[in-house]
Structure 1
Amino acid sequence: MELDVPFLDPHGEQPELGAPEDYEAHHPDDHPSDWGWHGEWGKVGRIGAWVAIIILLLMITATHYNGSGTAWLIFIAGFLIAYQIWDIRRRRNAWRQ
């Protein structure tokens, strides 16, 4: 039985699966900040982090068979709280350097 589809033919020419030639090219004139992205989520990200912290702490009230789930919830919420405090201090002191 002859295959009509060339890319299914095991003895035929293999398709080009690599990245395009321009994939790793350096584009000095195209910087993300030129079109609006400055590497931060802004107020939405900060509010979302506080909402996530509240949800994680509310999840502690769920039924757990042992303390490992509670420990993970507290650890992750604590990490997010520490990050939020660091971010508040970083933004407050950004112009003082």
Structure 2
Amino acid sequence: MPLKPGSEPANVGSPDDYSADHPAEHPSDWGWHGEWGVWRQIGGWISALILILMTTATHYNHAGEIALLSTAGVLIVGLIWDIQRQRTAWRR
């Protein structure tokens, strides 16, 4: 049924008792709002080490080595930045 000019608009908002988080299911219980914690650092350093070790393989030119080392370098810089960010965090 279309709205007539001058009539009251339809109430399309959420109900007054609506909550985005159901009391029985909080996002913190599922773990999708938090951080990886120490596993992010461990996984990052292992990934950087694997990228550096991949340079020992046989390459026909240095483009592969440059790509591997630059990716590992960016990853290491990000990990060091993350360590510094955690140390100087105002919230803990």
> TM-score if structure 2 supplies the norm length?
0.66
Deviation track 1:26-48 (CA, whole Å, cap 9, x = no partner) reads 95225523544443111112111
Q: Cα 1:35–1:59, aligned 2, differ >3 Å: closer, same or farther? A: closer
| Unmatched runs of 5 consecutive residues or more in structure 2 | 1-17
From the superposition, tell whether residues 29 and 86 of structure 1 become closer, same or farther in structure 2 (CA, over 3 Å): same
Q: Does 1:70 align with 2:65?
A: yes
With CA pairs under 8 Å and 6+ residues apart, which has the higher RCO, 1 or 2? 2
Q: TM-score, normalised by structure 1?
A: 0.63
Structure-2 separation of matches of 1:45 and 1:27: 32
Query: Which residue type is aligned with residue 61 of structure 1?
Result: T
How many aligned positions are there? 71
Out of 31-40 and 47-56, give the one that drifted further: 31-40
User: How far does the alpha carbon of each residue in 1:37-89 deviate from its partner, in whole angstroms, 9 at most, with x for none?
Assistant: 44311111211110111111011111000111001101110110011011001
Change (3 A) 1:28 1:64: same
Indicate whether 1:88 and 2:90 are aligned. Answer: no
SS of residue in 1 equivalent to 2:90: helix
RMSD: 2.2
The answer for unaligned runs of 5 or more in structure 1 is 1-25
